[in-house]
């Protein structure tokens, strides 16, 4: 699942990381809409070349290119599939544009997920008036996913040593093989959940109406700047796309 | 917010004929337990598995009867508050509980958030929370872990963070339920060293532990439990050399065991030793006289 | 019984857990594997029943190369007992739980039933057969998990941290059981941090650090080496501490004492020698 890396937060100190998550959310959505506005190679390529420096600014070029490599098979498949089955006049050019669009779209969102810590995200949600319990549940899921994964492996090992075969036999016997994994996993998780709840309650969770937060996210000038620039760019692009006749070079297609 | 005047005349913790049976259980987990804990004490609670030690801890911070429900008789007072009439959250600034499994106590993604979690829940001022976070990071030497995901920490490191997170509520008593049983010996030693250090600085501690050889020397009092009852309660040297301890199959420190064997052979040392050094010193004294 | 030759292993190429481990375990050995967390102890025992396969090097179990046998085949020879019993219990009675593993590993229903009954009585779990594992206490669940492995009657029994959370009496009972099995010819391996348990009950110790074996030999000589103790993040047992302290004042007393009676005798000698 290496291509998912591009949506995984990495700890860095970069100008992109320092932007308020709310401003970054607006920015990412604006970029995603821009990616969807065009289905022509040239503008998408220009937009792509605009996004790459941002990824570099977020000091995540290596991670980003690694996931793109991981994704290359899927991208190639989309390209071939579209070229063969598309009904548009110039399917090859069209499918290249589609692939470029997908890359731009992923890059836009990865700018958000690569640089927003899950804690920051939940804090942003809370300040956007999402209930604390809900936002906290989300960050707790992040916290315990690796633990749960480890537990699943330990259970699989324990059951394999008792002769449970997980990857052999008919579909039915495979499904039967899952039960000895799922049941302990559920029970262990329930026990763990109770123990976590005990610890949280002991530290006053849910005890006061007036929960405070050690750190509040603050929207600074820079964040307003990012927000305004993203929105303006989006409006400009939409205006150009829909109200200005596009010159030929923008609509250029690969020779067919 | 909930406020109660602290009454310095009352004991810090008082169990008055307290009994408890978990919902759905056949037998009582605690039977008519009476116990008082004064400020500055370091109490070690021990006894065979299933003797009620964990229930005793839970009753101090209100998890029994508010989180674990069941049949209840008698009362527990902590810092003058009747635990029946209070919530777990209200008791949190009075009694802090550290659990056995470190992984299940870390619910956030970094150390600062973890320490802030408790005070935030209780509505403490942000600037005060920040002060406490820095204070406990410093006190428990967590600086190098500041940016780590709990998943990347060792059990001992996790347990230190969990202790800081509990202490951030500034409880008057720290209750620890087998905090070292999942840890390697070096980490266990470190955690127990921290507890002893806190006690020297005036923190009251109630610790449940099997490995008496590691802690008997720090404790001011040992409580032996069996079958939901307190069967003996007194100073560590008396308790560990008593016959009750041997009958319950409790892990008596080796130095104390040797002392008892020597006594049977008619060789009397000056007093009951709890560590190897003490035993060696006693032998030296005896050989000189 | 088990031979490892230059075994290397790393998890998904990310983190190297074993870097060239070689040793031989003979039938009837009773030994402990000790080391700090992350030293590779658990990874090592998972190679004994094929749950993990070496990336380099070879593993022989009961005279045959382990690579030619499946996990199920190896598990009939090497029984692994895990730290957390909840990782394997999933059926509604203890008896079904024990028979499940036996049937999977190819024992007949009749044979499995007999083995189950035998094991339950051996572990003083008579009367538990019809009970649900989930209604039992932690210590009892641990015994049920142990029973499910013992019922296979493996030639080698390997236990991962069996003394965690056990009180002194439970530890004694476990030690007695392991000794009894060992006397009947079963090879017993424990992975543990519990140095007193090892010193009292296991004649041989393999010490590991950072994916390598740093010492292998009689427990006394391995664990009296301070360098080994430091590498394995182990603390000195109280008896050894006593012996060392005595040795400092009375140089005639040996500082290499591991058993209670040894230290006791040393003290008697000092006091009566006056």
The per-residue pLDDT for range B100-147, each reduced to its tens digit, is 999 999 999 889 999 999 999 999 999 999 999 999 999 999 999 998
Which band of pLDDT confidence, cut at 50, 70 and 90, is reported for residue C98?
very high
Break chain A into its structural domains and give their ranges: 2-116+219-251, 131-202
Contact A147 B151 (CB under 8 A): yes
Longest CA–CA span in chain A (Å) reads 71
Using an 8 Å Cβ cutoff, are B187 and B154 in contact? yes
Instruction: Output the pLDDT for position A70.
Output: 81
Instruction: Output the pLDDT for position A2.
Output: 54
Instruction: Output the pLDDT for position A78.
Output: 85
Mean pLDDT, range B202-231, rounded to an integer? 93
Instruction: Output the pLDDT for position C49.
Output: 92
Name the DSSP letter for residue B163. H
Check if B110 contacts A (Cβ < 8 Å): yes
Mean pLDDT, range A63-92, rounded to an integer? 85
Which band of pLDDT confidence, cut at 50, 70 and 90, is reported for residue A4?
low
Instruction: Output the pLDDT for position B2.
Output: 40
Average pLDDT, whole number, for chain C? 92
Check if B99 contacts A (Cβ < 8 Å): yes
Q: Specify the range with the lowest mean pLDDT, choosing from A123-127, A232-236, B56-60.
A: A123-127
Question: Which pTM value belongs to this model?
Answer: 0.88
Which band of pLDDT confidence, cut at 50, 70 and 90, is reported for residue B3?
very low
Query: Which residues of chain C does A160 touch, with a Cβ-Cβ cutoff of 8 Å?
Result: 51, 71-72, 75
Phi, psi dihedral angles at A93 (to 5 degrees): -60, -40
Q: Specify the range with the lowest mean pLDDT, choosing from A169-173, A230-234, C57-61.
A: A169-173
pLDDT at C110 over 90: yes
Which band of pLDDT confidence, cut at 50, 70 and 90, is reported for residue C15?
confident
DSSP E strand stretches across chain B: 13-22, 30-37, 42-46, 70-78, 81-82, 95-98, 173-177, 204-208, 221-226, 229-234
Q: DSSP per residue over A176-193, as a string?
A: HHHHHHHHHHHHHHHHHH
Q: What is the pLDDT of residues C42-58, one digit of tens each?
A: 999 999 999 999 999 99
Q: What is the pLDDT of residues C116-136, one digit of tens each?
A: 999 999 888 888 989 999 888
pLDDT at B41 over 60: yes
CA–CA min distance B96, chain C (Å): 22
Check if B110 contacts C (Cβ < 8 Å): no
Instruction: Output the pLDDT for position C178.
Output: 96
Tokens coding B128: 């005060």
CA–CA distance, C115 with C147 (Å, rounded to integer): 10
**How many C-beta atoms surround the C-beta of residue C27 within 10 A?**
12
CA–CA distance, B18 with A240 (Å, rounded to integer): 78
| β-strand pairing of C2-11 with C56-61 | antiparallel
Name the residue in chain A with its Cα closest to that of C78. Answer: A161
Instruction: Sheet with B204-208: list strands edge to edge.
Output: B95-98, B173-177, B204-208, B42-46, B221-226, B229-234
Question: What interface predicted TM-score (ipTM) does this complex get?
Answer: 0.91
Q: What long-range pairs does A188-191 form, CB within 8 A, spacing at least 24? A: A188/A151, A188/A155, A188/C84, A188/C86, A188/C87, A189/A148, A189/A151, A191/C86
pLDDT at C226 over 50: yes
Check if A165 contacts C (Cβ < 8 Å): yes
Using an 8 Å Cβ cutoff, are C206 and C33 in contact? yes
Mean pLDDT, range A214-218, rounded to an integer? 89
| β-strand pairing of C156-160 with C187-191 | parallel
pLDDT at B7 over 60: no
Check if C241 contacts B (Cβ < 8 Å): yes
Instruction: Output the pLDDT for position B4.
Output: 47
| β-strand pairing of C64-65 with C56-61 | antiparallel
pLDDT at B92 over 80: yes
Query: Which residues of chain A does B59 touch, with a Cβ-Cβ cutoff of 8 Å?
Result: none
CA–CA distance, A154 with A96 (Å, rounded to integer): 45
Angle A13-A18-A21 (CA atoms, 0-180°, nearest 5)?
130
- The share of chain B scoring above pLDDT 70, in percent, equals 97
Which band of pLDDT confidence, cut at 50, 70 and 90, is reported for residue C20?
very high
Q: What is the pLDDT of residues C181-201, one digit of tens each?
A: 999 999 999 999 999 999 999
Which band of pLDDT confidence, cut at 50, 70 and 90, is reported for residue B1?
very low
Name the residue in chain A with its Cα closest to that of B61. Answer: A202
Domains for chain C: give ranges and CATH numbers. 2-225 (3.40.50.300), 236-274 (no CATH)
Q: What sign has the CA pseudo-torsion B154, B157, B159, B165?
A: negative
Q: In the block, which residue shows the tokens 């779990």?
A: C125
Which band of pLDDT confidence, cut at 50, 70 and 90, is reported for residue C274?
low
Using an 8 Å Cβ cutoff, are B79 and B6 in contact? yes
Average pLDDT, whole number, for chain A? 88
Name the residue in chain C with its Cα closest to that of B289. Answer: C274
Average pLDDT, whole number, for chain B? 92
Instruction: Output the pLDDT for position A1.
Output: 45
Which band of pLDDT confidence, cut at 50, 70 and 90, is reported for residue C167?
confident
Mean pLDDT, range A234-248, rounded to an integer? 90
Q: CB neighbours of B247 closer than 8 A, spacing ≥ 6?
A: none
């Amino acid at each position: 699942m290496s291509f998912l890396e591009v949506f995984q937060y990495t700890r860095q100190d970069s100008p992109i990381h320092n932007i308020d998550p709310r401003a970054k959310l607006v920015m990412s959505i604006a970029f995603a809409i821009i990616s969807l506005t065009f289905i022509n190679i040239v503008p998408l390529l220009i937009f792509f070349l605009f996004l790459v420096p941002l990824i570099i600014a977020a000091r995540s070029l290596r991670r980003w290119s690694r996931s793109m490599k991981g994704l290359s098979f899927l991208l190639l498949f989309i390209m071939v599939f579209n070229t063969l089955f598309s009904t548009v006049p110039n399917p090859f050019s069209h499918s290249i544009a589609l692939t470029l669009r997908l890359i731009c779209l992923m890059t836009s969102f990865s700018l958000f997920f690569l640089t927003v810590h899950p804690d920051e995200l939940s804090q942003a949600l809370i300040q956007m008036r999402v209930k604390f319990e809900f936002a906290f549940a989300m960050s707790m899921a992040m916290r315990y996913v690796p633990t749960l994964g480890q537990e699943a492996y330990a259970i699989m090992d324990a059951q394999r040593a008792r002769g449970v075969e997980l990857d052999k036999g008919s579909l039915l016997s495979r499904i039967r093989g899952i039960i000895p994994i799922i049941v302990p996993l559920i029970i262990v998780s329930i026990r763990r959940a109770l123990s976590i709840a005990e610890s949280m309650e002991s530290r006053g969770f849910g005890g006061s109406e007036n929960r405070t937060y050690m750190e509040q996210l603050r929207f600074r000038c820079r964040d307003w700047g990012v927000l305004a620039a993203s929105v303006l760019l989006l409006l400009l692009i939409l205006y150009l796309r829909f109200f200005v006749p596009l010159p030929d070079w923008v609509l250029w297609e690969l020779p067919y | 917010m909930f406020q109660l005047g602290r009454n310095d005349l009352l004991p810090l913790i008082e169990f008055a004929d307290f009994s408890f049976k978990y919902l759905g259980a056949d037998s009582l987990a605690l039977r008519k337990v009476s116990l008082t804990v004064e400020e500055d004490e370091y109490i070690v609670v021990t006894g065979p598995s299933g003797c009620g030690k964990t229930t005793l801890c839970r009753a101090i911070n209100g998890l029994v009867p508010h989180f674990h429900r069941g049949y209840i008789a008698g009362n527990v007072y902590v810092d003058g508050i009747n635990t029946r009439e209070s919530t777990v959250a209200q008791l949190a600034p009075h009694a802090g509980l550290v659990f056995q499994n470190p992984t299940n106590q870390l619910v956030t993604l970094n150390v600062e958030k973890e320490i802030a979690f408790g005070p935030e829940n209780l509505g403490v001022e942000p600037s005060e929370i920040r002060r406490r976070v820095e204070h406990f990071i410093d006190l428990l030497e967590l600086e190098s872990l500041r940016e780590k995901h709990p998943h990347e920490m060792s059990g001992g490191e996790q347990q230190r963070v969990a202790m800081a997170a509990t202490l951030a509520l500034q409880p008057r008593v720290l209750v620890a339920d087998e905090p070292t049983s999942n840890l390697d010996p070096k980490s266990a030693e470190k955690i127990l060293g921290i507890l002893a250090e806190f006690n020297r600085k005036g923190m009251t501690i109630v610790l449940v532990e099997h490995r008496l050889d590691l802690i008997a020397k720090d404790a001011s009092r040992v409580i032996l439990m069996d079958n939901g009852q307190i069967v003996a309660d007194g100073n560590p040297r008396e308790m560990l050399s008593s016959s009750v301890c041997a009958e319950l199959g409790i892990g008596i420190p080796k130095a104390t065991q040797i002392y008892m064997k020597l006594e049977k052979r008619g060789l009397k040392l000056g007093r009951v030793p709890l560590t190897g050094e003490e035993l060696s010193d006693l032998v030296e004294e005896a050989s000189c006289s | 019984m088990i031979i490892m030759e230059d075994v290397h292993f790393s998890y998904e190429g990310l983190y190297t857990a074993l870097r060239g481990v070689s040793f031989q375990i003979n039938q009837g050995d009773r030994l402990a594997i000790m080391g700090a967390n992350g030293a590779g102890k658990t990874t090592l025992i998972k190679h004994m029943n094929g749950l993990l396969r070496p990336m380099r090097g070879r593993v022989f179990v009961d005279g045959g190369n382990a690579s030619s046998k499946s996990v199920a085949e190896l598990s009939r020879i090497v029984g692994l007992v895990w730290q957390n019993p909840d990782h394997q219990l999933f059926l509604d009675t203890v008896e079904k739980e024990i028979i499940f593993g036996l049937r999977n590993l190819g024992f007949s229903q009749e044979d499995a039933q007999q083995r189950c009954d035998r094991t339950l009585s051996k572990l003083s779990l008579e009367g538990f057969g019809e009970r649900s594992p989930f209604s039992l206490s932690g210590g009892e669940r641990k015994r049920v998990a142990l029973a499910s492995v013992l019922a296979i009657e493996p030639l080698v029994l390997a236990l991962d941290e069996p003394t965690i959370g056990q009180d002194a009496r439970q530890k004694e009972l476990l030690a007695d059981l392991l000794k009894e099995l060992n006397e009947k010819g079963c090879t017993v391996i424990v992975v543990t941090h519990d140095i007193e348990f090892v010193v009292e009950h296991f004649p041989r110790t393999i010490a590991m650090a950072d994916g390598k074996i740093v010492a292998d030999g009689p427990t006394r000589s391995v664990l009296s080496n301070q360098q080994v103790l430091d590498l394995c993040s182990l603390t000195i047992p109280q008896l050894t501490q006593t012996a060392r302290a005595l040795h400092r004042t009375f140089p005639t007393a040996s500082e290499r004492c591991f058993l209670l009676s040894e230290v006791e005798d040393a003290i008697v000698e000092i006091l009566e020698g006056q």
